[in-house]
Amino acid sequence: MPTEVMIHPFTFGDMSQKDLLGGKGANLAEMVRIGLPVPPGFTITTHACRQYLQTGLIPATLHGEIDGALTDLERISGKKFGGVDNPLLVSVRSGAKFSMPGMMETVLNVGMTPEVTQSLASSSGNPHFAWDSYRRFIEMFGKIVCEIPPVEFHKIQERITSSSGVEDIADLSLDALILLCDGFKKVITLTTGEDFPEDPREHLIRSVEAVFKSWNSERAQMYRKRERIPSDIGTAVNIQSMVFGNLSDDSGTGVAFTRNPSTGDIGRYGDYLQKAQGEDVVAGIRTPMSLDEFGRLAPVVAAELDAVMQLLEEHYEDLCDIEFTIERGKLWILQTRVGKRTAEAAFRIALQFVDEGKITMDEALRRTSGDQLAMLMFPQFDTSGPLHEIARGIAASPGAAVGEAVFDSKRAFDLSKSGKKIILVRRETSPDDLVGMVASQGILTSRGGKTSHAAVVARGMGKTAVCGTDSISVDERANLFTVGTTTVYEGDVISIDGTTGAVYLGDVPVVASSVTSYLEGRLSAESDEAAPVVKAVDRILMHADAVRRLRVRTNADTPEDAIRARILGAEGVGLCRTEHMFLGPRRSYVERLVLAENEDVQRSVIAEMEPLQRADFVGIMMAMSGLPVTIRLLDPPLHEFLPSLVVLSTEMARAEALNEEVSPRDRALFAAVNRLHESNPMLGLRGVRLGILIPELYKMQVRALVHAFLEVKKLGHDPQPEIMIPLVATQRELLFLRETLEEEIGKIFKGSGIAYEIPIGTMIETPRAAITADRLGVHTDFFSFGTNDLTQLTWAFSRDDVESTFLPRYLDLELLPFNPFESLDEAGVGILLRTAVDLARGLRSDFKLGICGEHGGDPRSIHFFNSLGLDYVSCSPFRVPIARLESGRASVKD
């Protein structure tokens, strides 16, 4: 079997071969193919890197291939690698399939030796340039190949610049520069215990190995996790002939964008640094000039660069990021790629290309994303002024929030009513904190992660949240938190950034989002006040609505949520969590229900609850008139509405120890909590089981719903309620409860003179329900997948616990590619969904299927749901526009 070739010259391939050549190598090959001035070179394939990562050794055949490729490069360039008279110098750069800017390593000027340096000094007539190039190589080799901390080189540099009376290396005398090179070599020798190598081929091989290693550097791994880049694809390595921007006054280096990647404005954008190499631009050690200034400095070369920029943009039909070097007045293009851009620029540039006739609206939709739209919807801090950052946690729910730190939910609610802006600070939140969370501008917790209670609820409400800020110590009794030497007391103003996870002391100015104003109907896209990005979002979102197949509903528990969601484009309610209606001040009803001494008292309490439910249902169905509203019957275990057993046990023990009297109510409450206590309540008495054991509870809910339906109908609206039974696992319990509910519904409709059939469906949130969906489907009108619980039960994960224990470590070790509560696990949970879909559609081809878990608003998961042929997704109101956009993208991608 022939050995796979691991090296290809830049004359091989094109931009379609990123899997083999990496993004940089594929684009270099493409630029050579279209005739641009690219310094010659060759690419070591990603296959070679993967072999190295598996064995820890440079593949045996690669050494010979490098020798052969160098010989070809010497022939093309007329120079000799390691030669003194006409030396060939090369750069060694990383280049993965997916752009990872700055995450891996580069070594420049490989091939430099003292003899080569002397030769370059003579041939160029510029000794300073030659020794500066050698200094750069020694420093990069030391930091990247020998892994010596940069501070060691900075010490030598500061000592020599200080003794020379200058601030910048560029101002050193030739003798001082030579002294600096010697100093750098001594650092390497002292640190490694070996003399600095002088063999150019050893320099090259070790530089290639360093680039391979950098694939698994800490920052590269972190970037891959954030961007969901696979960890096993490896990087290519590009070996390219050096051209020198630090050679003379008519030499330099720069980075150019064909449009402004920050704002999307049309026109050239970038930086140029005279008499410098590429690393100087990135490092920011000198202030570059703009491309407009460069145009005045060197109009002929600038015109050439403009022509190249135009050619590349037209060729790639996208914003291009270009690195270039000018050597003695000649322009060289070192690399190009489709440029990274802000969310605003993404929408604006996509529409510009449509209007210029270069791409279709479908392609513009593909080039934008729900994540980008989310970034545009949240307010942001104005970071141009001074900031006092005191901590950084997990960016759990984007946005910018400013307010007084408050450590109690009830107090947060009261202070908010008085007009104060509040940041609720807790170790972690629970359902009891909902009233304070609603009243607050944002939530800060010292525990939890992106799918903790605080994070999930905050995202659902469009609230800013920073969670898992483990550097702060929250003392809820003393109403303060400490971080380092700083103490923040209740009433102190703090600012939290849910996009970055930063926590600031003091009031940071906030910049409002015009995109949110447009989406909420407070700003017309046609008005003069509408920013260009608003007009772009409007056109792309309208196109997404026109092409998408998936409908988008919302999770709404209050009329206010429903109204907001409808304004944001929701096409109904996919999940109304009725238990949320009994949190806060209403929780006393559930407490009285649990403490009821007999069934008569229990029925009396339930009768008091019914008008409250009815009023809520009326408001939601009026807000969603003409659209479906799915009411999920009570789901959580009753203990969630009661005080903690641990707290009550502590209070009872304290009272006993102090010989204090305990009231009959407290004794009864303690006994009830003890009675209801379960080792694993999420797998206990909840959902359908609660409805079977306390049938009057579910009967009350459907009575309230039917009466609300009749009231809304009488007012001239078009209510379309649906009833959903939670946590069903068997067809018998489903049939039993369905018959009970239908009987109750029938009684009310019979007396009203109105005939209407309310659909009754079930949630699929247990693995058993998914694999027996054909049996359940016989007795139900629709399925809605509760992917939160389905993920918990499939993985045997407790969502509330795993994020604060082992899940972060699993993600660090790449034992999990992503958090399965953030994006759906297609390989596991996804198979259960696909099985249930196939079984249900086997019964009826038009069987209605939807998603109502947290994944319904996740852009990546939406594409999978679309591929399954589901009818709708349901998500929090704030994420409705995001789901609309991603559903459209899923349609044009599929």
Tokens of 78: 């007329």
Tokens of 601: 């008292």
Cβ 507 vs Cβ 433: under 8 Å: no
Distance from C-alpha of 250 to C-alpha of 865, rounded to nearest angstrom: 57
Distance of CA 708 to the CA centre of its chain: 40
Would you call 453 a catalytic residue per the annotation?
Answer: yes
The strand pairing partners of 445, in sequence order, are 426
Selecting among 203, 453, 543, 707, the annotated active-site residue is 453
Helices (H), strands (E): how many in the chain? 36, 33
Would you call 49 a catalytic residue per the annotation?
Answer: no
Tokens of 697: 């509870």
Listing DSSP states for 364-412 in one string gives HHHTS-HHHHHHHHS-EE-TTS---EEEE-EEEE-SEEEEEEE--HHHH
Alpha-carbon dihedral 24, 26, 30, 31, rounded to 10 degrees: 20
Give the pairing type, strands 480-483 and 486-489: antiparallel
CA 258, 263, 267, 269 torsion-angle sign: negative
DSSP code for 265: -
Selecting among 49, 320, 852, 875, the annotated active-site residue is 852
Tokens of 164: 């020379």
Name, in order, each residue with C-beta under 8 angstroms of 140's C-beta and a sequence gap of 6 or more.
106, 107, 108, 109, 279
Long-range contacts of 485-493 (CB under 8 A, 24+ apart): 486/390, 488/390, 488/405, 488/425, 489/405, 490/404, 490/405, 490/406, 490/407, 491/404, 491/405, 491/406, 492/404, 492/405, 493/402, 493/403, 493/404, 493/405
Distance from C-alpha of 822 to C-alpha of 853, rounded to nearest angstrom: 10
Q: Sort residue 569 into left (φ over 0), alpha (ψ -120 to 50) or beta.
A: left
SS3 call for 356? coil
55, with CB counted inside 10 A (0-12, 13-18, 19+), is exposed
Residue 299: CB atoms within 10 A of its CB come to 10
Cβ 717 vs Cβ 752: under 8 Å: no
Distance from C-alpha of 371 to C-alpha of 363, rounded to nearest angstrom: 17
Task: Return the H-helix or E-strand segment holding 239.
Answer: strand 235-241
Residue 889: CB atoms within 10 A of its CB come to 25
Distance from C-alpha of 38 to C-alpha of 29, rounded to nearest angstrom: 9
Calculate the alpha carbon distances from 338 to 23, 97, 261, 370 in Å.
10, 12, 11, 19
Cβ 402 vs Cβ 510: under 8 Å: yes
CA atoms within 13 A on the CB side of 719: 27
Cβ 403 vs Cβ 554: under 8 Å: no
Cβ 708 vs Cβ 618: under 8 Å: yes
Distance from C-alpha of 194 to C-alpha of 185, rounded to nearest angstrom: 10
Distance from C-alpha of 786 to C-alpha of 805, rounded to nearest angstrom: 24
**Residues recognised as catalytic:** 453, 852
